[in-house]
Amino acid sequence: MNMSLESLSMFVQVASVGSFSAAARQLGKSQSTVSEAIAKLEIDLDVVLFDRTARKPVITDAGALLLQRAQQVLAASTRMEQTASLLSSGLESRVTLVISDVYQSAHYEPLLEKLARRYPDLNFECVIAEDADVLELVGEGRASIGILAAQPTYPPALDFVRLAGVVHFDLYVGQDHALTRHAQVTTSLLAQHRSLKIQTINNQSTASHYLPEGRSHWSAPDYLLLLELAVKGYGWAELPVELVERFGNNQLQRLPVKGWPRQVAVDVIRSKRNTPGPAGEWLLRQITGE
C-alpha cells in the first residue's frame, strides 16, 4: 500500500464538494490529476470510494467509513507538523508543576483548560508536595515550577515570586474528638493530645513554631492526607481553611484557639539553572499574573 497524504487530501476534498472538477479548482490542480489520484487510491485500498455512474461522484458506504479515517490521518499529520515546529523553536516536551495543597485557587482549573488549548500536544505533569519537597523537586530540575507556602528563606539557586493574597490556616479536629468539648482550647491542652503534622518525603518536619508538639504525632506528606486523618479522629491538625471548606464535607470542627486562624503567603518558585521553556514560561506568567 503506497497511499500519500496528498491523495488522502484529494479524497477528503472531493467528498466535501461532491465534484472532481470543483475539488481540483480548490486544490489548484487539474481535474485529471485529481481523478487519477483517487483512482490510484482505490487500487491501493482495494475499495471503491465513489460511485461514478451518476453525473456527479457519490461516495460509497465503504468510502464514507474510510473518509473518517482519512480525516483522522490528516489531522494527526497536521498536529505532528505543528508539534515539530514548536519543538524546533525551543518548546519543551514536558512541563511539571509541583503544587502545595495550600494553593486552592479558583483560577487553577481554568488555567489548565487554557494550557490544554494552547499546547495540545504538551506532556503536563502535576505533582502534590509540600515545603522542602517542593524546593527539592524544583531545585533538582525534576519540576519546572513550584507553588508552596512562603518559606523563611530560599536556596540561592531558586527564584521566587509572591502571589497576591494569602492562605488562611486554622486548627481542626474530627466531630467526635475530645477537644470539641472545650469552649476554649489552650496550647497546653493541645499538647495533651496527638497532633497531625506535615512530614516531607525527605524527612523534614514542617511543624509550626506557633504550636506545641502534642503528646505524640502522626505525619503525612500533604495536607489532604492530614485532613483525612483528622476526619477519622486521630488527632488535631493545622489545615488550610480553603482546603477544609472544599474537601472537609462538614466533618471537621474548628478549634477555638487564641491567635487562630493565621495568614500565610504563597510563593511560586523556579530554578535559576533549569529555566522553563516557552510553555513553562507561559504557565508561570499565567500563575503570577505578570
Q: What would the 3-class secondary structure string for 114-130 be? A: HHHHHCCCCEEEEEECC
* Interacting residues of 150 by C-beta distance below 8 A, sequence separation 6+: 162, 264, 265, 266, 267
In the structure, what pLDDT confidence band is assigned to residue 26 with cuts at 50, 70 and 90?
confident
Range of the domain at 121: 95-290
101 lies in the same domain as 222 = yes
> Taking 60 as the threshold, does the pLDDT of residue 86 lie above it?
no
| pTM, entire model | 0.68
Torsion of CA 74, 80, 85, 86, to 10 degrees: 130
The reported pLDDT for the residue numbered 277 is 83
> Taking 80 as the threshold, does the pLDDT of residue 81 lie above it?
no
The number of angstroms, rounded, from the C-alpha of 216 to the middle of its chain's C-alpha atoms is 36
Identify the CA nearest to 74 among candidates 116, 12, 146: 12
Q: Cell 482549573 maps to which residue?
A: 109
User: What is the Cα Rg of the chain in Å?
Assistant: 30
65 lies in the same domain as 128 = no
Domain boundary among 40, 71, 88: 88
Domain boundary among 88, 116, 142: 88
**81, containing H or E segment:** helix 61-88
In the structure, what pLDDT confidence band is assigned to residue 88 with cuts at 50, 70 and 90?
low
102 lies in the same domain as 236 = yes
In the structure, what pLDDT confidence band is assigned to residue 1 with cuts at 50, 70 and 90?
low
Say which CATH number the domain at 285 has. 3.40.190.290
> Taking 60 as the threshold, does the pLDDT of residue 152 lie above it?
yes
> Taking 90 as the threshold, does the pLDDT of residue 114 lie above it?
yes
The reported pLDDT for the residue numbered 105 is 78
**Cell numbers placing 26:** 480548490
Most confident of 18-22, 92-96, 133-137: 133-137
**Cell numbers placing 276:** 522553563
Q: What is d(CA 244, CA 237) in angstroms, rounded to the nearest whole number?
A: 11
49 lies in the same domain as 128 = no
Buried-state track 21-37, b at ≥16 Cβ within 10 A, e below 16 = ebbbeebeeeeeebbeb
155 lies in the same domain as 183 = yes
Domain boundary among 39, 71, 88: 88
| Average pLDDT across the chain, whole number | 88
- What percentage of the chain carries pLDDT values higher than 70? 93
In the structure, what pLDDT confidence band is assigned to residue 203 with cuts at 50, 70 and 90?
low
60 lies in the same domain as 175 = no
**69, containing H or E segment:** helix 61-88
Strand partners, 218: 196
> Taking 80 as the threshold, does the pLDDT of residue 214 lie above it?
no
Q: Cell 500536544 maps to which residue?
A: 121
196 lies in the same domain as 107 = yes
- Count how many Cα atoms sit within 13 Å of the Cα of residue 205 in the half-sphere of its side chain: 10
34 lies in the same domain as 108 = no
Q: What share of the chain is helix, strand, coil (3-state, %, to 5)?
A: 40, 25, 35
288 lies in the same domain as 147 = yes
Torsion of CA 191, 192, 193, 194, to 10 degrees: 60
158 lies in the same domain as 203 = yes
- Tens-digit pLDDT profile for residues 215-263: 889 999 999 999 999 999 999 999 999 999 999 999 999 999 999 999 9
In the structure, what pLDDT confidence band is assigned to residue 107 with cuts at 50, 70 and 90?
confident
47 lies in the same domain as 105 = no
The reported pLDDT for the residue numbered 177 is 96
State how beta strands 94-99 and 123-128 pair.
parallel
The reported pLDDT for the residue numbered 174 is 96
Name all contacts of 183-192 with Cβ < 8 Å and 24+ positions apart.
183/256, 184/256, 184/257, 184/258, 185/255, 185/256, 185/257, 186/257, 186/258, 187/211, 187/212, 187/257, 188/212, 190/214, 190/236, 190/255, 190/257, 191/215
Say which CATH number the domain at 69 has. 1.10.10.10
192 lies in the same domain as 263 = yes
Identify the CA nearest to 217 among candidates 202, 232, 228, 229: 229
Q: What is d(CA 244, CA 231) in angstroms, rounded to the nearest whole number?
A: 10
The reported pLDDT for the residue numbered 27 is 87
State how many domains the chain has: 2
> Taking 90 as the threshold, does the pLDDT of residue 126 lie above it?
yes
In the structure, what pLDDT confidence band is assigned to residue 85 with cuts at 50, 70 and 90?
low
